[in-house]
Amino acid sequence: MARFLDVFLSSIAIFFVTFCWVYYILRDATTALILALFVALCASYIVYRIVCTTHKKQQLTKSKKSQLDSFTNYLCFCENVGDIFAQLLKYYTFDVQNAQNDGIVATKNGQKNYVALLFDNDVVTISELRKAVKTAKQHQSNKLIVFCIGYKPTDAQMANGQLPTKFVDKQSAFVLFEQADMLPPPNDTTVKKSAYFAQYAFCKKRFGGYFASGMFLLITSALTFFQLYSIVWGTALVAVALYSLLNKKYNVTQNVATLE
């Protein structure tokens, strides 16, 4: 529903921008109305495609990717990774019994889980999975949870055939730590004020203010003495509003991860 509302509001804004400019140049309301409707219909299709693409495929920003890479290196070279994940599991209401750097035994809702911490390779090897499954069975675990950098779907199927297994790759692990406010401090502590300003100025929350201001200037342009001035600034505000609504850079969808 939200996507269709975005398309509708975008089409309305483009309709008024087109109508005001055409009418200002030609002074013909009928021609301006026809052209504005045509442009708005074309724009609605384009905006719909943009919105759908954004909804289907969420891309990481450069900043987020840098944080993810730093987080991955932290897990790979951390000397007390077992203790760190024990704290994470406690945050998600697991009862931790035994924490080691290669694995953790934890229970939740009466179910015993073995949590394997496999960060030695970019993709979990079949030998690592076999060892993790054997260790989980030795602890009489009901479920195996594998934290890793990456894994092969075929290997995941093999592990699930032996024991119910949940794989948590580096991106899902990052989200879990982020939700728990347990991310390690960044290596670069330089604060980029310009990035914060852009994040604030061009996020979707700012759309309403830009949109209302731009539409007000466009609608009232015919009543003002400085008509061109109102149309130019109204167009600029509508353009900023549409950018704030549709851009991917400052409108990153928040992922949600669980260990269930």
* Secondary structure (H, E, C), 67-92: HHHHHHHHHHHCCCHHHHHHHHHHHC
Of residues 147, 84, 155, 81, the one with CA closest to residue 115: 147
Q: pLDDT by residue (tens digit) across 145-183?
A: 999 999 999 988 999 999 999 999 999 999 999 888 888
Q: pLDDT by residue (tens digit) across 178-218?
A: 888 888 876 544 445 555 677 778 888 888 899 999 999 99
Q: Give the Cα separation of 144 and 72 in Å (integer).
A: 21
Q: Which of helix, strand or coil describes residue 251?
A: coil
What separation in angstroms does the CA of 246 have from each of 47, 52, 206, 209, 242?
8, 11, 12, 15, 6
Tokens 């970019």 found at:
122
User: Is 7 a residue whose pLDDT tops 60?
Assistant: yes
What is the per-residue pLDDT for 54?
56
Tokens 């109305």 found at:
33
- Select the more confidently predicted residue: 226 or 251: 226
Which two three-digit tokens encode residue 96? 């931790």
CATH number of this structure's domain 65-179, picked from the four choices 1.20.120.140, 3.40.1350.10, 3.40.50.1820, 1.10.10.10: 3.40.1350.10
Is the Cβ–Cβ distance between 215 and 236 less than 8 Å? no
Is the Cβ–Cβ distance between 135 and 115 less than 8 Å? no
Q: Where are the domains of the chain?
A: 2-57+194-246, 65-179
Backbone angles phi, psi at 239, to 5 degrees: -60, -45
Q: Give the Cα separation of 227 and 90 in Å (integer).
A: 63
Q: pLDDT by residue (tens digit) across 74-105?
A: 889 988 899 999 999 999 999 998 888 889 99
Is the Cβ–Cβ distance between 230 and 220 less than 8 Å? yes
Q: Give the Cα separation of 65 and 185 in Å (integer).
A: 15
Residue type at 82? Answer: G
Which two three-digit tokens encode residue 69? 């890479």
Average pLDDT over residues 36-46: 90
Query: Quick check: pTM over 0.85?
Result: no
Q: Give the Cα separation of 151 and 175 in Å (integer).
A: 17
